[in-house]
Chains A and B, each alone.
Chain A
Amino acid sequence: MKGKKHTQRRWGSGIYLGVILALMYIPIVLVIVYSFNKQKISAVWGGFSLDWYRVLFHDQQMMGALWNSLKLGISSCLISGVIGTLGAVGMTKGRFRTAGAIESIATLPIMIPEIILGIAFLTFFSFVGIPYGMPAMIIGHCTFCIPYIFINVRTRLLGIDPSIEEAARDLGAGGGRVFWDITLPLIAPGILSGMLLAFAMSLDDVIISFFLAGPTSTTLPVRVYSQLKTAVTPEINALCTLTMGVTFCIVIVSQILGSNKFKRNRREEL
């Protein structure tokens, strides 16, 4: 009796999980399916075709926006990777009275609604005379990329057994040597996963770019947004499918890289 009830409950929770997950995935799957649909605008399936991908690759503006998005994502994740990592190391190892305040301010960009950050950059950059466009967008994206890297690296740093670094120092390694040979390899997976997360966030960002793009350097999400507001062509389906594919590849590669490195480090620690 009790066993039966238990299985019933298990079924119930399984169905619940399944339904919610299905609802999460239906919109995404639809976009992918319709990118191969011959029909232009209709829910009706008109046969398989790759036409929309062909249209997409010949769309100069779209390709330009894609290039802008990549440039922006790569530069902001590299810059914030350096700043965020150094900051996390300095803050964890050194003792500064201002550290707490800086930490709160540095993580502010992921705490307050993005639109406020967008407005703040738009008005402030105009005030100090930074022109809208790529440099402004890189600065803007760095501010919200840094917290992701900072938090990731800091969590990892706090998890390192201090005796490892002490042992290296006892064996005669200098501060720099300890950092390069011991600390850096240990926090490398944290840096990498933080940077990839930051890259994905930058690639995904609509709001900050929307305010800072300027006329010549539209990014992909901003272009998609303006198209969705006015005239949707199935080309968008193809574009969305491709970007999803690219993001998945990045994430999967990062996971594999991260987990292997992590395992090796664990083994060395043991």
Chain B
Amino acid sequence: MEKRRRHDGSFFLAMLPLYVTTLVFVLLPVLYVVALSFMKRDATWGVTSEFTLENYIRLWDPIYLKVLLDSLKIAVKTTLLALAIGYPFAYCMAKLPPRKRGIVMVLVIVPFWTNALVRIYGWMILLRANGVVNTLLLEIGIVDVPLKLLYTDGAVLLGMVYSLLPFMILPSYTSIEKMDWSLVEAARDLGAGKMRAFLTVTLRLTLPGILSGCVLVFVPSMGLFFISDLLGGGKEVLMGNLIQNQILTARNWPFGAALSVVMMLMTLLFLFVYRKSTKQSQPEGMA
């Protein structure tokens, strides 16, 4: 007993730095943003600590509602596209012989190690008016004038899906790989068609992987302002761009904070739903 307590003391000391940094540099800043969102903007640059709901009321302005809706739309589109591309990819990958599987795994992870900006810049080279795609199309003679590919909505979506695809592939792959294939065989033996076996067994069992992939794609896709800035030319304003603009350019910190709180709440809601659903599907997957 005595010994146990002494150990707990040293373990507590070991945890102390983590406790302090977490509370002071993570929890406090986040709470400060929440507090800031209820404050008034100063006549000059700062804020006054006067309680107001003004910032949240302002959110209902159609201009800002549209931004919110647009960001949600692009986040949903990104997630669905990443799922549509990433899940089959993970599935094919899991069906490969082990050695090839390892190689493909490394190939998926390597781009993750390159700077996100570099990869976006690569797409800029491809898509711009005198870029690679247009040069090729003109050479072959499919088009007479260069197509407008860069600075479009499609380019933003492409950039988002491209940047976040590994986050869909990896968790999907993990759940497909550790799935018990004999269950699929059993379903087939019992007379289920291929489609039916896939929908009722494979998809069900790999649902946790799909869901965590969706969270990992959806959450960052709302905040990646630099992608829409570079590929969309900053034309369409997304949540991330608006927040950045309010904080740095308009210097309206309370309103920027209110926008951040909304984004944070949406994220937490999404995470909460995800936790719930994985808890529910876990025992089902085990059974």
Binding site for B on A (CB under 8 A): 13-14, 16-17, 20-21, 23-31, 34, 41-44, 82-84, 86-87, 89-91, 93-96, 98-99, 102, 105-106, 108-109, 111-117, 119-125, 127, 139, 142-143, 146, 150, 175, 200, 203-204, 206-207, 211, 221, 224-225, 228-229, 232, 236, 240, 243-244, 247-248, 251
Contact = CB atoms under 8 A, between A and B. Distances in A.
Given A31-B118, A42-B130, A111 B219 contact: yes
Given A24-B165, A83-B18, A221-B115, A115 B225 contact: yes
Interface in B54-106: 85, 88-89, 91-93, 95-96, 104
Most chain A C-beta atoms within 10 Å of own C-beta, residue among B15, B89, B264: B15
Size category, B interface: 35 or more
B30 A108 contact: yes
A130 to B, nearest CB: 10
A259 B240 CA distance: 39
Nearest to B92: A13
Contact of A228 (B17, B121, B267): B121
Contacts, number: 229
Interface in B1-53: 6-8, 10-15, 17-19, 21-23, 25-30, 32-33, 36
B191 interface: no
Contacts of A124: 28-29, 32-33
Contacts of A86: 14-15, 17-18
Contacts of A82: 17
A72 to B, nearest CB: 14
Given A21-B108, A26-B122, 15 more contacts: A28-B114, A83-B17, A87-B19, A89-B11, A90-B12, A115-B243, A119-B33, A120-B33, A123-B29, A123-B32, A123-B253, A124-B28, A200-B113, A211-B248, A229-B229
Nearest to A169: B3
Contacts of B115: 203-204, 221, 224, 240, 243-244, 247
Contact of A175 (B7, B22, B92, B111): B7
B125 interface: yes
Contact of A119 (B23, B219, B230, B243): B243
B213 to A, nearest CB: 15
Nearest to A88: B18
Nearest to A34: B125
A133 to B, nearest CB: 16
List the 4 closest pairs (A to B, CB-CB), nearest first: A27-B122, A113-B223, A87-B18, A94-B11
B257 A123 contact: yes
Contact of B26 (A41, A44, A114, A143): A143
Nearest to B104: A17
B260 interface: yes
8 contacts: A28-B119, A94-B15, A113-B267, A121-B29, A123-B33, A123-B36, A211-B248, A244-B118
B113 A248 contact: yes
A25 B33 CA distance: 39
B95 A13 contact: yes
A111 B218 CA distance: 11
Given A86-B18, A108-B26, A119 B256 contact: yes
A175 B243 contact: no
B241 to A, nearest CB: 9
Interface in B148-181: 162, 165
Contacts of A25: 107, 111
B118 A106 contact: no
A157 B247 CA distance: 42
Interface string B110-154: 110111111111111110001110110000000000000000000
Contacts of A30: 122, 125-126, 132
Contacts of A14: 92
Given A89-B11, A102-B19, A114 B118 contact: no
Most chain B C-beta atoms within 10 Å of own C-beta, residue among A90, A102, A125, A211: A90
Contacts of B205: none
A206 B117 contact: yes
A206 B257 contact: no
